[in-house]
A = this chain, B = another copy of it.
Amino acid sequence: MSASKRQQILDTALVLFVEQGLEGAATAKIAKEAGVATGTLFHHFANKQELVSALYLAIKGELAERLPPVTSEIPTREMAGKMWQASMEWALSHPDKLRFLLAYYQSPVLTPETRRTAKFETLGFVLELIKVGQARGELANYPHELMMEVCHSLFMASAGHFIDHPDQAADPEQHQAAMTIFWNALAAPGHHA
């Protein structure tokens, strides 16, 4: 029961944070909506800030889990395509989670520490993929940090776009377009689509 109460709180917090913002969602409201007492929330999370961080990391972790392992047995473009597709499928089936990441990635309420953990622990595979692609000459030789930012922002922007416009998300051509944009942004000369 205890673990489930913790989870209920996280689930409810996600919905309320996305709907009403971090400050719009009072801890008492979250607890009530989750069907637990106010005190229970603070039994599981030392304070509201920690609830936000825990939620952020849980979501990033969940995304990371859904992704296929990086392998160099297939061309980088194919590998990147699989990644993109898996991520996008996850995003479209968990729109609230994507929106939460989108809304608070840059917010000052997230500690740099939390951001860092999210970046390196859960997105380490992106860096790996970039290195492999560069070694094979399939990806351009831009600085790694810049490339990671580009990966992150293009995916987030595309996913957000599709979530905001479900009609367009239903069109495979648009998905194809988004993936092509992503690939062309980072491909080495001669490897563009």
A interface list, Cβ under 8 A from B: 18-24, 99, 102-103, 105-109, 140, 142-143, 145-146, 149-150, 152-154, 156-158, 160-161, 165, 168, 174, 177-178, 180-182, 184-187, 189, 192-193
Contact = CB atoms under 8 A, between A and B. Distances in A.
The 6 closest A-B pairs by CB, nearest first: A153-B157, A185-B185, A142-B177, A23-B23, A21-B108, A153-B153
Contacts of A142: 174, 177, 180-181
Given A21-B108, A108-B24, A192-B192, A149 B145 contact: no
A153 B102 CA distance: 11
Of the listed residues A22, A146, A192, the one surrounded by the most CB atoms of chain B closer than 10 A to its CB is A146
B106 A102 contact: yes
B181 A161 contact: no
Given A140-B177, A146-B181, A150-B157, 8 more contacts: A18-B108, A19-B108, A24-B108, A103-B106, A103-B108, A150-B181, A152-B157, A154-B154
Contacts of A174: 142-143, 146
Contact of A103 (B107, B154, B185): B107
